[in-house]
Structure 1
Amino acid sequence: MERDYPFNKLKIINDPVYGFVKIPFDFIYDLLQHRYFQRLRGIKQLGLTSMVYPGAMHNRFQHAVGAMHLMTQAVGVLQSKGIKITEEESQAVHMAILLHDIGHGPFSHVLEHSLVEGITHEEISLMFMERLNKEFENQLGLAIEIFKDNYVKKFLHQLVSSQLDMDRLDYLRRDSFFTGVTEGVIGSDRIIKMLHVHNDQLVVESKGIYSIEKFLIARRLMYWQVYLHKTAVVAESMLVNVLRRAKYLMHNGIGMFATPHLQYFMASDVTFDIFMKDETVLEKFSLLDDGDIMSAIKIWTQHEDFVLSSLSKAIVNRDLLHIELQNKPFNKQRIKRIKEKIGEEFNLSKDEVGYFVTTDVIENHAYSLTDEKINILFSGGSLKDVSTASDILNLSVLSKNVRKNVLIYPKSVRNWASKL
């Protein structure tokens, strides 16, 4: 006679960054297995950054699992220091961090405002969580309250979303690992061991201040070496323009290959209100990943429209446009002359030239002085913001919003344009 053994959901995942990662709760396994979450395997964490760093092929699934692993460590550390976190709260905060990025679309941040309008991935993540909560008979209720920062214990939300959350601790270390950019390596283990709670606020014990200093510097370096690397910026700008051109052609009745769910978002101007009114929209969104975009772009390389096919070929073959970066805005007269030159060279209309010559502004700051601060806890219970507690960091520099102006145009006129 066969015995009916209960199914073990507390599996172990072998993660390249942390080693063995244990699934901490049975219900977490159910969420991991859900098709909404499995979709994240098909969405690259860093968009088209693999065109710069070939190893950057990791995905949102890996990042979410890694952030969950760090949450397990953080909850354990806080509990060991006498901070009361119930089993229910622990499971809920694990759910919140696991699902924090479930609303990302293809290529993560790159196409966030190309396929849908006026809605962020955080808002879509919340929609997915609410849909899952309904499907799993209200088992995600507390997780949603923590995610929305509506729960009484505010430090639980800070573990999910703040200037020192498990999301940032994982993506800096993971992105550094897969890109090979060692400047981004942070001591996440030590930072987590130094966490504490004071007056319901997440704080860092004073012994951990040097690890926080390194964390902030690493974040600044990673943004300009990886996330805003000029080659990634130009590739992602081209990808946005390819989608913009495809949507324009489709809206004008020109035949266009696309998977059915991608076709829906290209043919319609999908807004927040449409998401809220039509339950099928979220279902269609849940079918989208990087594969839909790349399969379409490969077909579009043969399209009769010159703009669409040229940009699609350039992305597939990594034959990218030229990019210039500078601190001050580019001369408008110079931009106008470059546009005229491109229009003549490729016989393009003014509107079509706009797909090949674009301007933009990229910006970043490593630490915000206006958001919730990273507070350092000293003996005796006194608190200091890291910006005043640190004796080596120049927080006026780290908190400064660095802006760089971007000008993108075809390489064929690079030599000519450099003389303008």
Structure 2
Amino acid sequence: MAYKDEQLNEEKVFKDPVHRYVHVKDRVIWDLIAAPEFQRLRRIKQLGTTNLTFHGAEHSRFNHSLGVYEIVRRILYNFENRPHWNDDERLLCLCAALLHDLGHGPFSHSFEKVFKLDHEHFTQQIIMGDTHIHTILERVSPGFSKKVADVIDKTYEDKLVVSLISSQIDADRMDYLQRDAYFTGVSYGHFDMERILRVMRPIDDQVVIKSSGMHAVEDYIMSRYQMYWQVYFHPVTRSAEVILSKILHRAKYLFETDYTFKLKPMHFISFFKEKVDLADYLKLDESIVSYYFQLWQEEDDEILHDLCERFMNRRLFKYIEFNPNQQMNEWMELYRLFQEAGIDPEYYLVVDSSSDLPYDFYRPGEEEERLPIHLMMPNDELKELSRHSDIVEAISGKKRTDHKLYFPKDLLEELSEDCPAKRRILELLYGEGAGNNVN
């Protein structure tokens, strides 16, 4: 029997808090899960610093990847023998679903921004490089790894396959909304996934939804909207991300200025030099980063020591509402006053902005083109979701943005009353015009 068709002697299952069970019968999938590059995802949290806000959010990219695989497995079971679906693509879909987040690094997006990295690039490298994952995929057939990489990269020729993994209603989003809601303890991310899976239909280039399932999709869209603003963009989580980012910036700066660390940060050197190869990338996970943060609390550099102590012990920055587009003069004055007070504004005065577009219709030619969700009407006509749903129409194409100014309230309060800058800083931050609600 060819490797691609090989089945396990008995079905394996992973007990899962969201989907109850994750079922594995294919030998290829079982081998991929066992590969070191996939097992590494156990050491990468799904939600980065969110556990400092919602203490239950300790789940990993490993959990999520299995969940996405399981949803795609269920979708494909429903697609069997339906028009437009080619069952020869089944294993490709399952592999792409399982491996779609393979390249995420520690603390994901915050880490990427500091070191100018792209997890999608590393996902491609792991799949196509000298790895256990690549070897397994090539055993399926020569060039199979490239097909998997293309699906994840959204360049694969069969757009129906791509849409299962990456679209406005895909297995990735359906898993992380429910999983993140479960582990954060909130109710926003819950929606009727079973109903959505039952009314999904394959057509030539995408998945569509039977019109009878519209209300389940409305619920899904609103769940996503609420999760972004109540969980993913929570200001306390963003405060932790700000400090995390500043720790990494400070450590990089110290390395570049020949500072002598008490323990040489070997795992970070290629990142500091911005010459990261795949082997270096795979060695660094959140347990390693946390180890260095723990040690850096003892460093002689006052800023690195303070920021690490804040992060490890959850002494986060406070924040106020602050729109840099409208309050630039206040920002410039605060920057100068922080300098006068001996508090480095590069590390202790940070504007952070978050924005989200919960649903969009197709805008040809624009950056980040989004294929809309289509409803299949009883006469087989396709209708774009927001043209048929008043709820979705109300939020379609509307990007919401939120700005916060983060700062160390404790350091400001510790300033001497004789410090000329102190009173004016407090006026700008707490007084009229800057917002009285300091959190």
Same-fold call, TM cutoff 0.5: yes
RMSD over aligned Cα atoms: 2.1
In structure 2, the partner of 1:157 is: 162
In structure 2, the partner of 1:375 is: 374
Asked if the contact 1:68/1:94 (under 8 Å) is kept, the reply is yes
Q: Deviations over 1:100-119 (max 9, x none)?
A: 1111110122212223x2x4
The alpha-carbon distance between structure 1 residues 359 and 9, as it changes in their structure 2 partners (threshold 3 A), is farther
1:207 aligns with 2:208: no
The alpha-carbon distance between structure 1 residues 82 and 7, as it changes in their structure 2 partners (threshold 3 A), is closer
Q: Which amino acid letter does the alignment assign opposite residue 95 of structure 1?
A: C
1:22 and 1:342 map into 2 onto residues whose CA distance is 56
Specify which of 399, 406, 409 is matched with residue 397 of structure 2: 399
Q: Which amino acid letter does the alignment assign opposite residue 359 of structure 1?
A: V
The alpha-carbon distance between structure 1 residues 332 and 200, as it changes in their structure 2 partners (threshold 3 A), is closer
Q: Deviations over 1:144-171 (max 9, x none)?
A: 3333344442111100111111000000
The answer for unaligned runs of 5 or more in structure 1 is: 1-5, 276-280
Asked if the contact 1:258/1:292 (under 8 Å) is kept, the reply is no
Counterparts in 2 of 1:234-249, with a 5 A limit?
234-249=239-254
The alpha-carbon distance between structure 1 residues 142 and 10, as it changes in their structure 2 partners (threshold 3 A), is farther
Asked if the contact 1:197/1:203 (under 8 Å) is kept, the reply is yes
Q: Deviations over 1:297-336 (max 9, x none)?
A: 1111111111111111111111111112356735223223
- TM-score (norm. length: structure 2): 0.85
The alpha-carbon distance between structure 1 residues 377 and 409, as it changes in their structure 2 partners (threshold 3 A), is same
2:9 and 2:268 map into 1 onto residues whose CA distance is 37
1:411 and 1:150 map into 2 onto residues whose CA distance is 48
The alpha-carbon distance between structure 1 residues 83 and 400, as it changes in their structure 2 partners (threshold 3 A), is same
1:317 and 1:149 map into 2 onto residues whose CA distance is 41
In structure 1, the partner of 2:435 is: none
Q: Which amino acid letter does the alignment assign opposite residue 93 of structure 1?
A: C
Q: Which amino acid letter does the alignment assign opposite residue 332 of structure 1?
A: M
Counterparts in 2 of 1:5-16, with a 5 A limit?
8=9, 10-16=11-17
Q: Which amino acid letter does the alignment assign opposite residue 45 of structure 1?
A: Q
1:17 and 1:150 map into 2 onto residues whose CA distance is 30
The alpha-carbon distance between structure 1 residues 181 and 327, as it changes in their structure 2 partners (threshold 3 A), is farther
The answer for unaligned runs of 5 or more in structure 2 is: 1-6, 364-369, 414-425, 433-439
Asked if the contact 1:104/1:112 (under 8 Å) is kept, the reply is no
In structure 1, the partner of 2:430 is: 418
Asked if the contact 1:258/1:296 (under 8 Å) is kept, the reply is no
Q: Deviations over 1:354-411 (max 9, x none)?
A: 110011321111012231111111111111111101133334x343111122211111
In structure 1, the partner of 2:175 is: 170
Q: Deviations over 1:118-143 (max 9, x none)?
A: x4211211111112464333442432
Counterparts in 2 of 1:91-106, with a 5 A limit?
91-106=91-106
Q: Deviations over 1:245-273 (max 9, x none)?
A: 0000011111233653333212x123xxx
1:98 and 1:134 map into 2 onto residues whose CA distance is 14
Counterparts in 2 of 1:113-262, with a 5 A limit?
113-115=113-115, 117=116, 119-131=117-129, 132=131, 134-136=134-136, 137=138, 138=142, 139-256=144-261, 257=263, 260-262=266-268
Q: Which amino acid letter does the alignment assign opposite residue 245 of structure 1?
A: R
In structure 1, the partner of 2:111 is: 111
Q: Which amino acid letter does the alignment assign opposite residue 321 of structure 1?
A: F
2:397 and 2:162 map into 1 onto residues whose CA distance is 23
1:318 aligns with 2:314: yes
1:284 and 1:392 map into 2 onto residues whose CA distance is 47
Q: Which amino acid letter does the alignment assign opposite residue 238 of structure 1?
A: I
2:31 and 2:269 map into 1 onto residues whose CA distance is 30
In structure 1, the partner of 2:305 is: 309
Specify which of 279, 296, 299 is matched with residue 300 of structure 1: 296
In structure 2, the partner of 1:337 is: 333
Q: Aligned-pair distance for 1:192?
A: 1.3
1:64 and 1:301 map into 2 onto residues whose CA distance is 34
In structure 2, the partner of 1:364 is: 356
The alpha-carbon distance between structure 1 residues 398 and 56, as it changes in their structure 2 partners (threshold 3 A), is farther
1:154 and 1:312 map into 2 onto residues whose CA distance is 45
In structure 2, the partner of 1:85 is: 86
Q: Aligned-pair distance for 1:7?
A: 7.1
1:63 aligns with 2:64: yes
Asked if the contact 1:92/1:140 (under 8 Å) is kept, the reply is no
The number of aligned residues is 397
Secondary structure in structure 2 of the residue aligned to 1:302: coil
1:309 and 1:175 map into 2 onto residues whose CA distance is 32
1:96 and 1:34 map into 2 onto residues whose CA distance is 15
